[in-house]
Amino acid sequence: MELMSGGELFDRIVEKESYTEKEAAETIRPIVDAIRYCHEQGIIHRDLKPENLLYESSDEKAIIKISDFGLARFVQGELATTACGTPGYVAPEIVAGQGYGKEVDYWSIGIILYIMLCGFPPFYEENNKELFQ
């Protein structure tokens, strides 16, 4: 296991408040590449969020990596059905109880990108039940 001493993307978002489009693209690109690789191997992460994206060092241009594969699942041609993930980042098909695949990871990446650009989440409610409505 690698030591990721640079902290979470979450902390950098809080510190920076919002990113330019260029900064956000440079930050998210390696995550998209890593998720694409996972998907090619038949793995969906299912819990992408800024807290699970870690930097190798505190350097501004440090390498960012995906962590916490605790909810990840190997899928080979079938759809996953387990309701899991973090509220606010969960794709609509998971909330609806439908079968889903790798697209749920891209939904979560879109939410992260939105937060980076705007400084706040696209969906927010104090109550998860209301959030999922």
The residue to which tokens 């059905």 are assigned: 81
Q: Which residues of 112-133 are buried (b: 16+ CB within 10 A; e: fewer)?
A: bbebbeeeeeeeeeeeeeeebe
Q: Which residues are catalytic?
A: 47
Residue 5, both tokens: 């001493």
Answer yes or no: are the C-beta atoms of 58 and 8 closer than 8 Å.
no
Answer yes or no: are the C-beta atoms of 109 and 99 closer than 8 Å.
no
**Which run of H or of E encompasses 5?**
none
